[in-house]
């Protein structure tokens, strides 16, 4: 059997994204932790901010998570005053979620933390390279069925 070229593996997009992804995720989690949230909380607030359907069931579908996770995240965000639950007038069994003013402020703080992390991560890139990287990652995200 031929020796495997280790550089061939480490030069693949799959390997590099697989290694960078967890590192960036951990750094983002650390950046938003002082705000009292985790990345999944930020994701839920971002989905609400984007105007996605706001019932807990619909949010679970949009986020591709189990409904119980949305309920738990919503409980925690409600305790922080970041979201509010309102009975759906069309179906009293459902709750609709919406961001509060405090939630919009919290989401803005999370965006600022993400932007600062972006600046650190791309400090060695020129403006054009950063724009190209962001655009190409958006293409890959859309092709994977993720919101870009």
The pLDDT value recorded for residue 52 is: 65
Measured distance CA(137)–CA(58) in Å, rounded? 26
The pLDDT value recorded for residue 148 is: 57
Q: For the chain, give the number of residues.
A: 148
C-alpha torsion 7→123→142→109, nearest 10 = 140
**Domains of the chain and any CATH numbers:** 25-115 (1.10.10.10)
The pLDDT value recorded for residue 120 is: 96
The pLDDT value recorded for residue 91 is: 79
| pLDDT profile of the chain (148 residues), mean per 10 | 72 93 97 97 93 80 89 95 88 86 98 97 96 95 81
Measured distance CA(119)–CA(40) in Å, rounded? 22
Q: Which of 26, 22, 64 is nearest to 43 (CA)?
A: 64
Task: Please give the structure tokens belonging to residue 51.
Answer: 């105007």
Measured distance CA(3)–CA(114) in Å, rounded? 41
Angle of the 101-121 helix axis to the 13-32 helix axis, nearest 10: 130
Measured distance CA(148)–CA(134) in Å, rounded? 10
Strand partners, 99: 83
The pLDDT value recorded for residue 6 is: 66
Measured distance CA(99)–CA(97) in Å, rounded? 7
Q: Which of 35, 62, 37, 38 is nearest to 48 (CA)?
A: 62
The pLDDT value recorded for residue 3 is: 64
């Amino acid at each position: 059997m031929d020796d495997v070229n280790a550089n061939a593996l480490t030069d693949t997009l799959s390997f590099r994204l697989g290694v960078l992804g967890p590192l960036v995720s951990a750094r983002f989690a650390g950046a938003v932790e002082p705000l009292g949230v985790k990345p999944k909380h930020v994701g839920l607030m971002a989905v609400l901010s984007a105007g996605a359907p706001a019932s807990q069931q619909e949010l679970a579908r949009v986020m591709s998570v189990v409904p119980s996770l949305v309920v738990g995240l919503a409980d925690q965000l409600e305790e922080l005053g970041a979201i509010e639950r309102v009975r759906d007038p069309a179906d009293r069994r459902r709750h609709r979620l919406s961001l509060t003013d405090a939630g919009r402020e919290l989401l803005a703080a999370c965006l600022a933390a993400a932007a600062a992390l972006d600046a650190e991560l791309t400090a060695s890139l020129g403006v054009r390279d950063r724009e190209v990287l962001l655009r190409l990652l958006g293409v890959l995200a859309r092709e994977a069925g993720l919101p870009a």
